[in-house]
Structure 1
Amino acid sequence: MKKLRYITIAAFSMALLASCTEFLEEEPTKTSTVVPSTVEHLERLLNNYGNFASEPSREIAFGTDDFGLSTDFFNASNSAYGIMTVQFATWDKQYIPNADAPYWTTEWKKIFIANMVLENLDRVEGSIETKEQLRAEAHFIRAYSYFKLADVYCLPYNQSTKNEMGLPIKKSTSFEEPIERASLESTWDMMKEDMEIALTLEKEFGTFQGQKKIWRASTVSVNAFAARFYLTLNDYEKAEEYADLALSEYSYLRNYNTDMRYSDLPTQVTIFNPEPENVDILYPYTHDQQNIPTDKFEWGESYYYRFLTNGSWNYYPSQELLNLYDQDNDLRYKYHIVENYSYARGIVDPPYSQPGYIFFFKSDILSGPSVPEMLLIKAEAQTRQGRWNEGLTTVNILRNARMDQSAPSTLIQLNATTQDEALVKILEERRREMPFVSRWHDVRRYNNNETGIDDVEMTKIFYPYNASIILKNDAPILYTLEKNSRRFANPIPEQELLTSDWIIKQNTY
């Protein structure tokens, strides 16, 4: 019987171990009997942050109203958007199953590694204390990836959806373990069980060669993830509790007034308007190092090293997103919204000016739990529990680090006169602080909580398309993702269903 690609990773798992220096000297195979023998081997496996950090989700990068889809931009250049970008941006159901969507496989590989660690803990040599730390960390990794997969490929979890299809429950690396999709309730029950074990981790947020060890789980990173986890379940008391625990241990915020700057290497492009004209494109300094993670490690606000990655380099903010920023005083707009970014993408003759969102290089935005996210979770949880003045005080801690300090205090500080007004302003601040990486997750939970004030129906107007081309000569049409759409569960890649002998079922629409 064929199995999921992530399950047929016996060779892949051994290759991961081979990447650990001084562990294996020859290329392993599916039938290899080489196994880790000490806790140090497992430590090296988890220290390989390249196995865990990247989250290559087109579903998240393009599938919200943070991503701008413009007929004017496409009219200026047919290279503005690729066909898959448009399909993901308009919540397609027909063609996406056959598209290249690596996120499913990427997260299952992480789960496989976590299961591999758990299976070998009782077989390897090492102290009980170290083994228990590794056990908690592996459960954290598994819970984290299940959470991310459910967020993209399953419906939002609530009482009305608990019997819908969830994910396969994989607690081992065995080829014989069933791979049918469990119920959504069973999937979340497994995550909760993993979370409870992960929360037993007692490990300082340490350093290595001067860098915060954000690529490894720690007590603070687990608490931060727990805050995100319980916010998703609308358990605001627990979300606030765990956000507080994380912030009490580590609360560094980068002050954009003093700790941000433009790159010393501006890109100069020539546009034709119609005569040649040179234009400098200003990037934040974090743009410069494509393949070196130093800037990400030194950023200082992260609890756990994960980033959304977009190989197309096209985080084009929607006008709706751009309008949320105080473009004169919000330093996030100054440094992360790169004016004329489309020129650097070759749209110069004729030129069309479209900004891009840049955080690290052109492809990566930190998505793991962070200090700003904990402040936003705490502020939101306080407000939803009726303590909205406290929520505003909390969110203004973040604002003070992001807004130009020469601006009037009335522009720096958020104020409100009602709970609903405070909630709306705090959620807008969350969107300004965490565009692209959090919007898909947020819209799902806004549409499935106790209030309707934060409900979102996403729409885009763009040309129709087929499997391979955008039909530019046809009239633009309205694409809508309604509040309760089943399309909030993205299609699983068809190849993954095929390699499971169709044991894994596709989402229904």
Structure 2
Amino acid sequence: MKRKLIYLYIAMAGMFLHSCDKYLDIQPVGTVVPSTESDFRAMLTSGYSVFPTHKSLLSLRTDELLLDEYSTDMAYLKDIYIWNDQSPDPTTLSYPWGTFYKSIFYANLLLTEIDDKLGDNEVTKQLKAEAYLLRAYSHFELLNCYAPVYSETNRQHKGIPIAQTIDLEQKFPVRTMEDVYAFIMNDIQHAEDLMQVVDQPSEHRYRFSKRALHAFRARLHLYRSEWAEALSEAEKALAIENGLVNLNGDEVLLPNDFESVESIQALDNPATAQVHSSTYVANNVIALYDQVNDKRFARYFEKSGGDYKSRKGGNSRLKVSFRNGELYLILAEAALHIDRKEVALEALQTLAKHRLTETAVTEQAANLKMLSVPELLSFVQLERTRELALEGLRWYDLKRWDRPEIQHVFLGETYTLNEDDPRYTIRYPREAVENNPELL
């Protein structure tokens, strides 16, 4: 097939928009053809900047939040909150689809053009590594939203379209989950071969790095129940930087603050101002904390009338994609599945020392040693809920564990997401199906 390259910054972008809208609704803009390092860095920054805030909407589907019935934004959020995916109000915010592919478009264009313009050097290698990871991470998030949990028995289940090239003649059929994961892992390997930056400074924390690559791989293997690989990748990330925010000290930063010692990458915004201002923390989440000995409680939440609000979102400082707190919990969960209980206990103890009072740390360590592996796995699930509350991972955890029943009460009526409900897999957006008949 003849390859038709379309520059991101050319005056003919309108023609490309019209042609490509049929499938992915890409909307490139601009008038300058990229030719310098700064041009390509700006291109990739655009790919980062349009990355969607989908995790904020996913949190509304979980058991973490209560929707404020008097919120001015209630109309935009209520159908998400009550899992009305079949016939939502036209004003309901849409789950992202095209915006993921916009990020992918920027990554694809850089990967297509940069070698011809700049050749092979450390700068281009780093830019290409980040582009591969941005493309991989976008496909990974799409897959986790719009496909069921991966397993050996359903790996041939339909997933999402793969967007790998810039070609107006390309079709975008839905690929199997196994195909998409193979593509993602191949991109991560390409990135690892090229990566130059071990850890991004805080001012560039939205960018991918070697540390973020290992954290990404650790989560990917965790979601695929590949326990040894998840453990190994978490250990590699922590070997670069293993610090945790000490909530027993005078530390003013939250663990999910992009400048905290444990922040690895801060690309995702899991609690937009709109969702943050329209919700309270669910009572079942509040009940999980020892409000005296667990220092996370006072740092994560604040009283608001008779309810609690989250302190962990609502502003750009609190973006988080990967951080060390999650990695210690990946260590614990993965280790328990491969008969390495002592590794799990050590990881939980390290986290506890930075989150609980000294007395509580000692008591927890003694209690955990007495638990069986299944009991410890249950504890890790609770600890993930406490540690990672309102950071956009709860929906994925619910999906991969047991897809429990959830009830939301709204305007006096009870709505139920049943156990193992098909709505744990989000429907392809209507406009995406209309634009791309290959999705059917």
TM-score normalized with structure 1 length: 0.74
Residue 390 of structure 1 deviates from its aligned partner by: 2.4
Code of the residue aligned with 1:247 in structure 2: it is L
CA distance, structure 1, for counterparts of residue 173 and residue 19 of structure 2 = 13
Residue 359 in 1 paired to residue 312 in 2?
A: yes
Residue 228 of structure 1 deviates from its aligned partner by: 0.5
2:123 alignment counterpart: 130
Pick the aligned partner of 1:498 from 434, 437, 440. Answer: 434
Q: Secondary structure at the match of 2:312?
A: coil
Residue 101 in 1 paired to residue 107 in 2?
A: no
Q: Secondary structure at the match of 1:79?
A: coil
Q: Secondary structure at the match of 1:422?
A: helix
Q: Any residues of structure 2 matched to 1:197-216 within 5 Å, and which?
A: 197-206=190-199, 211=202, 213-216=204-207
2:108 alignment counterpart: 115
Contact kept, 8 Å, 1:156 with 1:488, in 2: the verdict is no
Residue 417 of structure 1 deviates from its aligned partner by: 2.2
Residue 35 in 1 paired to residue 26 in 2?
A: no
Q: Any residues of structure 2 matched to 1:147-162 within 5 Å, and which?
A: 147-162=140-155
Code of the residue aligned with 1:305 in structure 2: it is A
Code of the residue aligned with 2:424 in structure 1: it is F
Q: Any residues of structure 2 matched to 1:36-435 within 5 Å, and which?
A: 36-47=34-45, 51=49, 55-68=53-66, 74=69, 78-79=70-71, 82-96=74-88, 98=90, 99-206=92-199, 211=202, 213-261=204-252, 296-307=257-268, 308-310=270-272, 311-313=274-276, 314-340=278-304, 352-361=305-314, 365-405=318-358, 407=360, 409-411=362-364, 415=368, 416-435=370-389
Q: 1:2 to 1:299 in 2, by over 3 A?
A: same
Output one character per residue of 1:214-263: Cα deviation in whole Å (capped at 9) or x when no partner.
222211110111001111110000000000000011112111122444xx
Output one character per residue of 1:245-299: Cα deviation in whole Å (capped at 9) or x when no partner.
00011112111122444xxxxxxxxxxxxxxxxxxxxxxx77xxxxxxxx94322
CA distance, structure 2, for counterparts of residue 259 and residue 91 of structure 1 = 41
CA distance, structure 2, for counterparts of residue 84 and residue 374 of structure 1 = 34
Q: 1:306 to 1:382 in 2, by over 3 A?
A: same
Q: 1:130 to 1:413 in 2, by over 3 A?
A: farther
Contact kept, 8 Å, 1:201 with 1:218, in 2: the verdict is no
CA distance, structure 2, for counterparts of residue 218 and residue 159 of structure 1 = 30
Output one character per residue of 1:398-457: Cα deviation in whole Å (capped at 9) or x when no partner.
1111123465731577614211111111221111111231111112221xxxxxxxx241
Percent identity, please.
Answer: 24
CA distance, structure 2, for counterparts of residue 100 and residue 177 of structure 1 = 29
TM-score normalized with structure 2 length: 0.85
CA distance, structure 1, for counterparts of residue 73 and residue 154 of structure 2 = 34
Contact kept, 8 Å, 2:404 with 2:418, in 1: the verdict is yes
Residue 123 of structure 1 deviates from its aligned partner by: 1.7
Pick the aligned partner of 2:414 from 467, 470, 477. Answer: 477
Q: Which one has a bigger Cα radius of gyration?
A: 1
Higher mean C-alpha displacement, 195-204 vs 53-62: 53-62
1:9 alignment counterpart: 26
Q: 1:413 to 1:499 in 2, by over 3 A?
A: farther
CA distance, structure 2, for counterparts of residue 115 and residue 389 of structure 1 = 44
Pick the aligned partner of 2:424 from 459, 482, 488. Answer: 488
Contact kept, 8 Å, 2:132 with 2:188, in 1: the verdict is yes
Q: Secondary structure at the match of 1:118?
A: helix
CA distance, structure 2, for counterparts of residue 414 and residue 123 of structure 1 = 60
Q: 1:406 to 1:160 in 2, by over 3 A?
A: closer
CA distance, structure 2, for counterparts of residue 498 and residue 2 of structure 1 = 15
Code of the residue aligned with 1:334 in structure 2: it is A
Residue 46 of structure 1 deviates from its aligned partner by: 2.9
Code of the residue aligned with 2:394 in structure 1: it is R
Contact kept, 8 Å, 2:48 with 2:103, in 1: the verdict is no
Q: 1:495 to 1:193 in 2, by over 3 A?
A: same
Q: 1:52 to 1:400 in 2, by over 3 A?
A: farther
Code of the residue aligned with 1:499 in structure 2: it is N
Q: 1:392 to 1:89 in 2, by over 3 A?
A: farther
Contact kept, 8 Å, 1:6 with 1:105, in 2: the verdict is no
Unaligned runs of 5+ in 2: 1-17
2:9 alignment counterpart: none
Code of the residue aligned with 1:417 in structure 2: it is L
Residue 440 in 1 paired to residue 377 in 2?
A: no
2:405 alignment counterpart: 458
Output one character per residue of 1:323-381: Cα deviation in whole Å (capped at 9) or x when no partner.
111111211110111111xxxxxxxxxxx522111214468754311111111101111
Q: 1:201 to 1:192 in 2, by over 3 A?
A: same
1:466 alignment counterpart: none
CA distance, structure 2, for counterparts of residue 190 and residue 396 of structure 1 = 36
Q: Secondary structure at the match of 1:123?
A: helix
Code of the residue aligned with 1:186 in structure 2: it is D
Residue 50 of structure 1 deviates from its aligned partner by: 5.7
Q: Secondary structure at the match of 2:159?
A: strand
Q: 1:5 to 1:247 in 2, by over 3 A?
A: farther
Residue 196 of structure 1 deviates from its aligned partner by: 2.0
CA distance, structure 2, for counterparts of residue 381 and residue 66 of structure 1 = 24
**Structure with more of its chain in helix, by fraction:** 2
Contact kept, 8 Å, 2:125 with 2:195, in 1: the verdict is no
Code of the residue aligned with 1:42 in structure 2: it is F
Residue 93 of structure 1 deviates from its aligned partner by: 2.5
Structure 1 runs of 4+ off > 6 angstroms?
Answer: none
CA distance, structure 1, for counterparts of residue 313 and residue 388 of structure 2 = 13
Higher mean C-alpha displacement, 1-10 vs 365-374: 1-10
Q: Secondary structure at the match of 2:275?
A: coil
CA distance, structure 2, for counterparts of residue 97 and residue 182 of structure 1 = 30
Contact kept, 8 Å, 1:56 with 1:309, in 2: the verdict is no
Code of the residue aligned with 1:40 in structure 2: it is S
Residue 67 of structure 1 deviates from its aligned partner by: 2.0
CA distance, structure 1, for counterparts of residue 283 and residue 23 of structure 2 = 39
